[in-house]
Amino acid sequence: MRCFVAKAAEMLSLCPMSHISSKPVIGITCGDLNGIGIELIIKTFSDQRMLDQCTPVIYASSRTINFYRKQLNEYPLNFQILRDFQRLQSKHVYVYNCWEEEVNITPGQLTEAGGQFAIRALKTAVDHARKGWIQGLVTAPIHKANTHSADFPYTGHTGFLREAFEVPDVLMLMIADDLKIGVVTEHIPISDVASAITAQAIAGKIDILRKSLMRDFAIEMPRIAVLGLNPHAGDDGHIGTEEKTMIAPLIQSLRQQDMMVFGPYSADTFFARAQYRYFHAVLAMYHDQGLIPFKSLTQEPGVNFTAGLPIVRTSPDHGTAFDIAGKNQADPSSFRQAIFACIDILRNRVIYDESTRNPLKKSELQSE
């Protein structure tokens, strides 16, 4: 994706009315206060070169940032308190105070406060994104055990973002190198997977994936592989019939609409034989079917991208890592890559939108 940055910057310089500048404002949520999120933020933005790519706004509190900054003396993070988005300037790291009260921070511990304030930061950032004050969103990890509540009835970021931006569906898409894997079902028990796999659900995810590959990743004619639900993709109906009665007919229907969708493939041989190399993206039926091979095969840090949203949201491909929180052991590579991915996707969208705005009809070109 980094290869598109120079081209995008040139395009942006020619389009002053574009909705995003060459250095977009990226909102960074702190995640669980007792996890590794803030350590990742400090390590990432202590490198001044990051400010050549974006203007970061960290959603947390200055006291919380300072708590961890004192423990990370070798990572000198300088920041300014942001009160007015009209006063944003380049080459600065900003912190937006989402709360003023003192919070007891206990790195590595699962506490109610750690989750509550993480959600407060998230909701504030999403509100600002809906107002257009930030163009992209990178979220540090939260923990379901202390965030799920009556005020936040979600198993993670994805469901909340879908409802917050009022879109009918989104796709959890894992990206790294040239490997992109989406999932039909996300964080649900394996016992509920089969009933959640419907032709409508698969078709909806394929539609989001195809459009995202074109607009977000600059792939003009995306090739998509679809995995089967059952072992050996049902083995011609002997180990389940979903492939034969639902998935294969759906794929055939989409092929007749000139979509390059293939499958269903047996998940084990598909990855063992590296068949994924022949496709731009893979659609898995459930979480572990997609994420286990993704995390096993990728050499570079992975990124979780929520396709289908009007804004760009990415996150690292790991959790809160309480076991190493507060010990200066967290590796910021995936978090940094999530920021780069967010920036690249934003710029790819500008190129795509500019190139497809009000296209002349072929008949009009031929008549001239």
Q: Name the residue ranges covered by the structural domains of the chain.
A: 15-167+309-354, 170-308
Mean pLDDT (whole number) for 169-176 = 96
Q: What is the pLDDT of residues 298-315, one digit of tens each?
A: 988 899 999 999 999 999
Task: Render pLDDT for 189-221 as a digit per residue (tens, 0 to 9).
Answer: 999 999 999 999 999 999 999 999 999 999 999
* Domain at 170-308, CATH homologous superfamily: Isopropylmalate Dehydrogenase (3.40.718.10)
Q: For residue 330, which of 41, 48, 116, 49 has the smallest C-alpha distance? A: 41
13: pLDDT strictly greater than 50:
no
At 327-365, the pLDDT tens digits run: 999 999 999 999 999 999 999 999 999 998 876 554 454
Q: Does domain 15-167+309-354 have CATH number 3.30.930.10?
A: no
Which sign does the torsion angle of CA 204, 184, 173, 117 carry?
positive
pLDDT value of position 177: 81
- Taking alpha carbons only, the member of 273, 340, 313 closest to residue 164 is 313
Give me the pLDDT at residue 90, please: 86
35-44 mean pLDDT: 97
How do residues 103-125 score in pLDDT, each as one tens digit? 999 999 999 999 999 999 999 99
Nearest residue to 187 via CA among 287, 318, 284, 292: 287
Residue 205 CA to residue 283 CA, distance in Å, equals 8
The most confident of the ranges 2-6, 20-24, 35-39 is: 35-39
Read off the amino acid at residue 281.
A
CB 282 within 8 A of CB 173: no
pLDDT given for residue 359 in this prediction: 61
Q: What is the pLDDT of residues 238-277, one digit of tens each?
A: 999 999 999 999 999 999 999 999 999 999 999 999 999 9
Please give the pLDDT value at position 16. 33
- Tell me how far apart the alpha carbons of residues 198 and 117 are, in angstroms, rounded to a whole number: 37
* Same CATH fold assignment for domains 15-167+309-354 and 170-308: yes
